Amino acid sequence: MNKAVFIDKDGTLIHDVPYNVKPELITLSEGAIPSLLRLKELGYLLIVISNQSGVAHGYFEEEALEAVKKQLGVLLGDAGIDGFYYCPHHPEGTIDIYSVACDCRKPQPGMILKAAKDFNIDLPASWMIGDILADSEAGNRAGCKTILIDNGNETEWDMEGQRRPTFIVKNLEEASKLILDYTWQEH
C-alpha cells in the first residue's frame, strides 16, 4: 500500500485568495517546494483535498478548477501533486445541483476516502495537513494523523472530539519536518 500526505489547498499549500480561480493570482505558501520535495523523498504521495464551495454559490464554474490544478503543476514542478480532489458542494449553495449536504465536504472524510481507494493508500500511515480544524477533523475521521498549521485562518477554536489535530505547527515547512522526524522514529 501507498502512504500519502493530504494537503488543503487554500491557506495551506497556497496563499488564500477567497474563491480564486485565476491562475495568475495563485502563489505558493512560503517553503512549499522544499517541504513537498522532502515529503516526496520520504515516499509520500501528495494529494490536494479542497472544499470549493464557490461552485455551489455560483461564483465560478466547476471547469475553472482545471486551470487551478494546471497552475499548481506549473508552480510546483518536481514537487508536484499526485492527486487533486475537491468538493464543489455547499448545503446553502445557490446552484441546485451543488446545493447538497454531502460526504465529501470537509470536515467529512469523503475526499480522503476516495483518494485512498484510488491510490491504494494506507490511511493510518498517512497525514492530513490543513489550516483550519475542519481539515483536522476530516483527516481524523479518515484515520490519518493530522497537522494544523496555525497561521491565523482558524476562527472557531473548538477542538472537541474529532477536531483535535495530532500536531499544531506554524507553517508547511514545520509540518514537513515533523513528518520527517516522525517517519524516522517509526523505523
**Percent of the chain having pLDDT more than 90?**
90
Q: How far is residue 94's CA from residue 108's CA, in Å, rounded to a whole number?
A: 21
Mean pLDDT value across the chain = 96
On whether the CB atoms of residues 47 and 105 are closer than 8 A, the answer is no
Contact assessment for residue 180 and residue 44, using Cβ atoms and an 8 Å cutoff: no
Residues above pLDDT 70, as percent of the chain: 99
Q: What is the pLDDT of residue 34?
A: 96
Cα 141 to chain center, whole Å? 14
How is 142-182 classified by DSSP, letter by letter?
HT-EEEEE-SS--------GGG--SEEESSHHHHHHHHHHH
Greater pLDDT, 76 or 183: 76
Which of 10, 16, 122, 135 is catalytic? The answer is: 10
Q: Which amino acid is located at 175 in the chain?
A: A
- Determine the pLDDT at residue 119: 98
pLDDT digits (tens, 9 = 90+) for 74-86: 999 988 999 999 9
CA distance 10 to 31: 15
Active-site hit among 8, 82, 103, 122 = 8
Write down the pLDDT at residue 183.
82
Q: Please report the pLDDT score of residue 154 as a whole number.
A: 85
Average the pLDDT over 149-172 and give the result: 93
Interatomic CA distance for residues 157 and 100, integer angstroms: 26
> What local confidence, expressed as pLDDT, does residue 187 receive?
58
Encode pLDDT of 109-150 as tens digits. 999 999 999 999 999 999 999 999 999 999 999 999 999 999
C-alpha cell at 157: 477554536
Whether cis (ω within 30° of 0) applies to the bond prior to 18 is no
Catalytic (active site) residue 10:
yes
The pLDDT of residue 126 is 98
Residue of higher predicted confidence among 26 and 79: 26
Name the packing angle between helices 110-119 and 133-142 (round to 10°): 50
DSSP state of 121: B
pLDDT value at residue 155: 83
What structural domains and CATH numbers belong to the chain?
3-186 (3.40.50.1000)
Rounded mean pLDDT, 54-72: 97
Neighbours of 105 (CB within 10 A): 22
